[in-house]
Amino acid sequence: MTGDGGAVDGAAEGLAEFRTDLDAWLDGHTDALAPGFEGAGTLDQQMAQLAKVKRLVFDAGWMRSGWPQRVGGLGGSTLTRAYLGEALTARDLVEPGLYSMTEVLAPTMIDYAAPELAAAMVPALLRGDETWCQGFSEPDAGSNLAALACRAERTDAGWRVTGQKVWTSLAQYAQRCVLLTRSGPPEAAHRGITALFVDMDSPGITVRPIGTMHGSPEFSELFFDGVVVPFDRMLGEEGGGWAVAMDLLPFERSTSLWHRAAFLHRRLQELLETAPPGAIDPYRLGEATQLLYAFRARSRATQHRMAEGDRLGPETSIDKVLLATAEQTVFDLIADALVAEVTMGDDPVSGRWRTEYLYSRAASIYGGSAEIQRNIIARRLLDLGDDR
Ligand SMILES: Cc1cc2nc3c(=O)[nH]c(=O)nc-3n(C[C@H](O)[C@H](O)[C@H](O)COP(=O)(O)OP(=O)(O)OC[C@H]3O[C@@H](n4cnc5c(N)ncnc54)[C@H](O)[C@@H]3O)c2cc1C
């Protein structure tokens, strides 16, 4: 996608210049940016690569573009952020899922944290000095997030948190966690939730990585046993955590996914170069390409809406459904054409096809399952049935 003229273009003043200058800088820093491993690499290697790349692009100013000056950014259009992610992913310099956490968590932190807290914390995330995680899901609260039970009680020392989270991506690497807690009675449902910004080295936190079928333990169980969180670590108001979640999820379902199109384009291109003659069904190739462009067109429009200052909301469920459909169709095509690599590949280089195929199955689960996105589209966008 990089340089094909169809990316987030023109509309933002200075974007064309940003793209040209960034591409030239990336071309000039190939060795410094390159991963020191072949194939997909281990999760440890991918995380180290992500931190290295973020540090280099932050120190050179690219990673600061499009973020507010009050959190260490340089201001300017958010479209430059989108292009940076696209360029890094298109060159296979970062793993797209790991890179996206910044676009999921930082915007909400900027909007809801006390200004001095956001100013102190966000630069460390942008520069790759820190990893943050998102503690929303629980064993009995995934799709039905308003049922969450991880308890926060007021004490003289601050909030005292006790409970469990699950599927918390990168928690084992994280220095901070954006955590949803129940501070009111259970019957208060979504009105009794408070969001906290928690230091992961606080006494009482246990992190247990969970194995995955694709072999990369990207998420963990998180246990909180009387963890004290200072009051000034509240995001938004006491009891206002639902608003934080409802503002964060649209980023997770849309803008943070933009650069996955660059990743999927790259893999489709590699498939065309790698597959044995006749192995690719042209009809299915056409279908995968069309779905990918449908996601990209939708995602591009969302990026422009964010750049114009629009508040993102439930309409981002459409972006999420399109991404999950495109990603799984692309990898179904890959599995069909590269049967041996996807079914048995355990070689560190060619085994990347297998790892990525297996991970593509999660695209219709993370960020809210495809069924839940369709419920939101039906009820909240099309006004069909109850909004429950
Ligand atoms: C790779 C990955 C990374 C993740 N990272 C994080 C993270 O960092 N932080 C975090 O908090 N969570 C994370 N999650 C968790 C994710 O948000 C949840 O898995 C997701 O919201 C679904 O919740 P659940 O797993 O509890 O499934 P459930 O809610 O139990 O759903 C099970 C099935 O029932 C269906 N279903 C449930 N309710 C309905 C309904 N009302 N109508 C129709 N169908 C329904 C669902 O679609 C699903 O198919 C991650 C998940 C994955 C796979």
Cβ–Cβ under 8 Å, residues 275 and 45: no
How large is the angle between the packed helices 316-337 and 260-274, nearest 10 degrees? 20
Of 103, 130, 157, the last residue of a domain is 130
List, for residues 204-216, the tens digit of each pLDDT value: 999 999 999 888 8
Band of pLDDT at residue 10, cut at 50, 70 and 90: very low
Q: To test ligand 1's pocket by mutation, which of 132, 136, 137 has the most ligand atoms within 8 angstroms of CB?
A: 137
Cβ–Cβ under 8 Å, residues 87 and 263: no
Q: Do 312 and 300 sit in the same domain of this protein?
A: yes
User: Which of 252, 315, 341, 356 is an active site residue?
Assistant: 252
Instruction: For 50-117, give the DSSP string.
Output: HHHHHHHHHHTTGGGBTS-GGGT--BS-THHHHHHHHHHHHTT-S-HHHHHHHHHHHHHHHHHS-HHH
How far, in Å, from the CA of 250 to the mean position of ligand 1? 15
Cβ–Cβ under 8 Å, residues 157 and 228: yes
Protein residue with least CA distance to atom 26, ligand 1: 142
Q: Do 103 and 191 sit in the same domain of this protein?
A: no
Q: Is the CB of 348 under 6 A from ligand 1?
A: no
How far, in Å, from the CA of 365 to the mean position of ligand 1? 5
What single-letter DSSP state applies at residue 142? S
Q: Do 21 and 126 sit in the same domain of this protein?
A: yes
Closest ligand 1 atom to Cα of 171:
8
Q: Do 286 and 212 sit in the same domain of this protein?
A: no
How large is the angle between the packed helices 96-112 and 43-59, nearest 10 degrees? 60
Q: Do 137 and 120 sit in the same domain of this protein?
A: no
Other beta carbons within 10 Å of 379:
15
Q: Of 114, 141, 110, 140, give the one whose Cα is nearest residue 125.
A: 110
Q: How many structural domains are present in the chain? A: 3
Q: Do 51 and 169 sit in the same domain of this protein?
A: no
Q: Is the CB of 212 under 6 A from ligand 1?
A: no
Rounded to the nearest integer, the mean pLDDT of the chain is: 94
Cβ–Cβ under 8 Å, residues 66 and 77: yes
* Contacting residues for 387 by C-beta, under 8 A, at least 6 apart: 379, 380
Q: Of 106, 101, 134, give the one whose Cα is nearest residue 119.
A: 106
The reported pTM is 0.95
Encoding tokens for residue 253? 């379902």
Q: Is the CB of 375 under 6 A from ligand 1?
A: yes
Q: Is the CB of 362 under 6 A from ligand 1?
A: yes
List, for residues 262-311, the tens digit of each pLDDT value: 999 999 999 999 999 999 999 999 999 999 999 999 999 999 999 999 99
Q: Of 85, 104, 83, give the one whose Cα is nearest residue 95.
A: 85
Q: Do 138 and 126 sit in the same domain of this protein?
A: no
CATH of the domain at 210: 2.40.110.10
Instruction: For 361-388, give the DSSP string.
Output: GGGGTTTS-HHHHHHHIIIIIS--S---
pLDDT of residue 185: 92
pLDDT of residue 334: 97
How far, in Å, from the CA of 188 to the mean position of ligand 1? 22
Percent of the chain with pLDDT over 90: 88
pLDDT of residue 163: 98
Band of pLDDT at residue 7, cut at 50, 70 and 90: very low
Of the CA atoms within 13 Å of residue 284, those in its CB half-sphere come to 17
Opening angle at CA 144, ends 138 and 150, nearest 5: 35
Of 130, 155, 172, the last residue of a domain is 130
Which H or E run contains 135? strand 132-135
Measured distance CA(281)–CA(337) in Å, rounded: 8
Of 130, 154, 188, the last residue of a domain is 130
Identify any residues that bridge with 221 across adjacent strands, giving them in sequence order: 208
Average pLDDT over every residue of 183-187: 92
Residue at 7 is within a domain: no
pLDDT of residue 39: 80
Protein residue with least CA distance to atom 32, ligand 1: 143
Measured distance CA(269)–CA(285) in Å, rounded: 11
Q: Do 20 and 116 sit in the same domain of this protein?
A: yes
Residue at 6 is within a domain: no
Q: Do 92 and 182 sit in the same domain of this protein?
A: no
What single-letter DSSP state applies at residue 179? E
Beta 234-235 vs 193-199: how paired, if at all? antiparallel
Tell me the residue type at 81. R
Residue at 220 is within a domain: yes
Residue at 4 is within a domain: no
Identify any residues that bridge with 95 across adjacent strands, giving them in sequence order: none
252 tagged catalytic = yes
CATH of the domain at 105: 1.10.540.10
CA dihedral 144→152→101→343, nearest 10 degrees, is -50
CATH of the domain at 287: 1.20.140.10
Encoding tokens for residue 286? 């056409």
Band of pLDDT at residue 6, cut at 50, 70 and 90: very low
Q: Is the CB of 174 under 6 A from ligand 1?
A: no
Q: Do 148 and 193 sit in the same domain of this protein?
A: yes
Residue at 330 is within a domain: yes
Q: How many helices (H) and strands (E) does the chain have?
A: 13, 8
Q: Which residue has the tokens 């990893």?
A: 131
Q: Is the CB of 137 under 6 A from ligand 1?
A: yes
Tell me the residue type at 331. F
Residue at 239 is within a domain: yes
Opening angle at CA 197, ends 194 and 203, nearest 5: 105
How far, in Å, from the CA of 142 to the mean position of ligand 1? 5
Residue at 95 is within a domain: yes
Q: Do 149 and 80 sit in the same domain of this protein?
A: no
Domain range spanning residue 37? 15-130
Q: Do 239 and 295 sit in the same domain of this protein?
A: no
If DSSP codes are grouped into helix, strand and coil, which group holds residue 319? Answer: helix
Distance between alpha carbon 167 and the CA centroid of its chain, in Å?
A: 14
List, for residues 328-361, the tens digit of each pLDDT value: 999 999 999 999 889 887 776 667 899 999 999 9
Residue at 172 is within a domain: yes
Of the CA atoms within 13 Å of residue 78, those in its CB half-sphere come to 19
